[in-house]
């Protein structure tokens, strides 16, 4: 029996509550489809930081480099500044392992009410393809004239040709497999004078390689408005690191709750392990109450199986989620009263 070695980083807050449900469902689907998992649990988190002064050991990434995948909950909790916790764990995983694609589906599921009026399943069904290794997320820059009246900070935004072209090609390749074959670019070339015109230039160049794919381009401000008013316009949306981050919270919010939104940090070349984690964070406001929605974590597990070559088992998880969303228990963010474990067990039972 094939056994996958998975690094488990539950992390902080509700990461620790939703992770066991993800594992429960993956174990269940593995039993059905004839493969198994070795879960290599790493305690790396803000709690770990409090004890050791760093988010993971110095050789942390080396410890998981040869694993088949990384399954992650959430990183960041009050007590450790967010940029310290995230740049100490999640961002190094994404960068060191060249997970330059952050792939996040946005889908209105049957039985889930959308906060947008009169939207039904099928009306909202698109992918956010977010650049995940560069862009606005950088640690290059600094403070000048500290303490003086003239004090200021700067920070570089980096769009490399390689990094920009490869994320755009990924978006176009994904669109090729879709019915509507449409890629939308998120830009802001009216206000951001160097990087964003470059983004547009590369979008035009890469789209020329895909004459059969329709394209659109919107500035990020009006694009957010279109997400709310015309979510049916979108099929594949490609954006920089920051724009993709924002769109991948807004999109799922339009489909009911970010609690069900999954994500994949992918190294498409499979030279390094990819990392699968929900879109949401550690939710300090509800952590420890056992009421977090585990579906984002569970669906991220389905994306992991797809990446590992088990499309059928992955589809089985999504089908089980759909079944439970239709007539099973729901957590409070979806208007229900069920707890995290009840929803996880219901989905595992539906496999």
Q: How far is 292 from 341, CA to CA, in rounded Å?
A: 9
If one asks whether residue 186 binds ligand IPM (CB under 6 A), the answer comes out as no
Options 21, 235, 245, 322; binder of Mn ion; rule CB under 5 A: 245
Smallest gap, in angstroms, from Cβ of residue 24 to Mn ion? 25
Return the range that interacts with Mn ion (CB under 5 A); candidates 131-139, 150-158, 237-245, 294-302: 237-245
If one asks whether residue 74 binds ligand NAD (CB under 6 A), the answer comes out as yes
Pick what 259 binds: ligand NAD, ligand IPM, Mn ion, none; C-beta below 5 to 8 Å, kind-dependent.
ligand NAD
- Give the x/- contact pattern for ligand IPM in 231-270, rule: CB under 6 A: --------------x-------------------------
Terminal alpha carbon distance of the chain: 19
Provide the token pair at 247: 């769109």
Please list every residue from 133 through 162 that binds ligand NAD, using CB under 6 A.
none
Return the range that interacts with ligand NAD (CB under 6 A); candidates 31-39, 106-114, 274-282, 309-317: 274-282
Q: How far is 267 from 99, CA to CA, in rounded Å?
A: 4
If one asks whether residue 11 binds ligand IPM (CB under 6 A), the answer comes out as no
If one asks whether residue 306 binds Mn ion (CB under 5 A), the answer comes out as no
Place of tokens 């392990």: 273
Which CB sits closer to Mn ion, 131 or 245?
Answer: 245
If one asks whether residue 342 binds ligand IPM (CB under 6 A), the answer comes out as no
If one asks whether residue 76 binds ligand IPM (CB under 6 A), the answer comes out as yes
Q: How many amino acids of this chain bind Mn ion (CB under 5 A)? A: 1
If one asks whether residue 132 binds ligand NAD (CB under 6 A), the answer comes out as no
If one asks whether residue 101 binds ligand IPM (CB under 6 A), the answer comes out as no
Options 86, 93, 223, 343; binder of ligand IPM; rule CB under 6 A: 86
Place of tokens 């496999």: 351
Please list every residue from 89 through 128 that binds ligand NAD, using CB under 6 A.
90
53 φψ region: left (φ > 0), alpha (ψ -120 to 50), beta (else): left
Contact residues: ligand IPM, CB under 6 A: 76, 86, 245, 279, 281
Contact residues: Mn ion, CB under 5 A: 245
């Amino acid at each position: 029996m094939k056994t996958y070695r998975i690094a488990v980083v539950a992390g902080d807050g509700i990461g620790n509550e939703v992770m066991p449900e993800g594992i429960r469902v993956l174990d269940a689907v593995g039993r059905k489809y004839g493969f198994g998992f070795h879960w290599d649990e790493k305690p790396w988190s803000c709690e770990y930081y409090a004890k050791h002064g760093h988010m993971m050991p110095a050789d942390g990434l080396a410890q998981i480099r040869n694993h088949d995948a990384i399954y992650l909950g959430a990183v960041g909790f009050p007590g450790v500044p967010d940029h310290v916790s995230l740049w100490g764990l999640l961002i190094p995983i994404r960068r060191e392992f060249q997970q330059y694609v952050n792939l996040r589906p946005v889908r209105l599921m049957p039985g889930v009410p959308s906060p947008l009026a009169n939207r039904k399943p099928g009306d909202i069904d698109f992918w956010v393809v977010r650049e995940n290794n560069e862009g606005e997320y950088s640690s290059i820059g600094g403070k000048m004239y500290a303490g003086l009246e003239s004090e200021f900070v700067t920070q570089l935004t980096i769009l490399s040709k390689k990094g920009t072209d490869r994320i755009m090609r990924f978006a176009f390749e994904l669109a090729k497999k879709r019915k509507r074959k449409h890629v939308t670019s998120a830009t802001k070339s009216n206000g951001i004078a160097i990087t964003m015109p470059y983004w547009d230039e590369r979008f035009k160049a890469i789209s020329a390689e895909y004459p059969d794919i329709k394209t659109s381009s919107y500035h990020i401000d009006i694009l957010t408005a279109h997400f709310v008013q015309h979510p049916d316009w979108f099929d594949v949306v490609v954006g920089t690191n920051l724009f993709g981050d924002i769109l991948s919270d807004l999109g799922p919010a339009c489909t009911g709750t970010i609690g069900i939104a999954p994500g994949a940090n992918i190294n498409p070349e499979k030279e390094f392990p990819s990392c699968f984690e929900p879109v949401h964070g550690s939710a300090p406001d509800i952590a420890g109450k056992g009421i977090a929605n585990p579906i984002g974590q569970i669906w991220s597990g389905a994306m992991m199986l797809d990446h590992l070559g088990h499309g059928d088992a992955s589809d089985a998880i999504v089908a089980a989620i759909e079944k439970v969303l239709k007539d099973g228990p729901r957590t409070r963010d979806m208007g229900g009263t069920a707890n995290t474990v009840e929803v996880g067990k219901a989905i595992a039972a539906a496999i």
